[in-house]
Amino acid sequence: MRSHDYGRDILNTPKRKKVPEIPAEPGLVVEDPASGFCGAVVKFEYGQVVLEDRHGRHRLFPLHPAGFLVDGRPVTLVKPAPQPQKPRVSASGSVKVEGLRAKTAKASRIWVEGKHDAELVERVWGHDLRVEGIVVEPLGGVDELPGLIREFGTAPHRRLGVLVDHLVAGSKEQRIVEQIHDDNVLVTGHPYVDIWQAVKPRAVKIEAWPVVPRDIGWKEGVCAQLGWGETWEGWQRVLGAVSSYRDIESDLLGAVERLIDFVTVD
């Protein structure tokens, strides 16, 4: 007599295997099994995915469940989740303020020795200074600095930050700075003869800044040795090579950052 074997339980059907979902990242190679078209994901248009085959041809395909093959296996393509945008940074490395409007200038100022100094500071820190409402002004030299400070009339809400070239022990610049005794003035500087030297040599595609004899103007000597033409042409080459703080020597970076902090203190 046969056992009570009534065969397979028709209600106990095996579960269908779930088709994996794969984000359709650009560059992912998939195949449309219906047409045999094989290509890499390029983009999305009107809720469909655009594929590009090896001949550069584009075709649109709807995102149906189990509508594609990857390595011969059915998959469901889905739009990738949007990636969080990284905050944009300014040339100085600070977080860039989007939609910035012109801000009323504060009473505090940053003074630099010359036009080239001012242009380089603007190149790297211009965004930060506009956010803070700080104006940078060229002096044309520091020989009369103590008197200019007295004329300016400093106060806790009216501070001065001064950037000095070639501020090294025993220099003329150092002797001038030692005459300043004002809690609302901060003088910082760098050791370079000229602001050009604060730009890293690799940025201007040279191995090192030339050594110029003392009886020759430094800018003129540099342009003559490097074949840069007139000094204005040399400066355009130097300034054009600076795209961010990474192209600037640390001595200048630290000096300017301290000045900005000083004049922006409430």
pLDDT, tens digit (0-9, with 9 covering 90-100), for 111-147: 999 999 999 999 999 988 988 899 999 998 889 999 9
Q: For the chain, how many residues are written?
A: 266
Task: Look at residue 191 in the predicted model and tell me its pLDDT.
Answer: 94
Of 46 and 139, the structure prediction assigns the larger pLDDT to 139
Pairing of strands 68-70, 21-23: unpaired
Domains of the chain: 21-78 (2.30.30), 109-264 (no CATH)
Mean predicted lDDT score pLDDT of the chain? 87
pLDDT, tens digit (0-9, with 9 covering 90-100), for 163-206: 999 999 999 999 999 999 999 999 999 999 999 999 999 999 99
Task: Look at residue 92 in the predicted model and tell me its pLDDT.
Answer: 64
Of 28 and 249, the structure prediction assigns the larger pLDDT to 249
pTM of the predicted structure, to 2 decimals: 0.65
Buried-exposed string 62-94: b where 16+ CB fall within 10 A, e elsewhere = eeeeebbeeeeeebbbeeeeeeeeeeeebbbeb
Task: Look at residue 85 in the predicted model and tell me its pLDDT.
Answer: 65
pLDDT, tens digit (0-9, with 9 covering 90-100), for 83-111: 666 667 767 666 666 665 656 778 999 99
Q: What whole-number distance in Å separates Cα of residue 232 and Cα of residue 220?
A: 10
SS3 266: coil
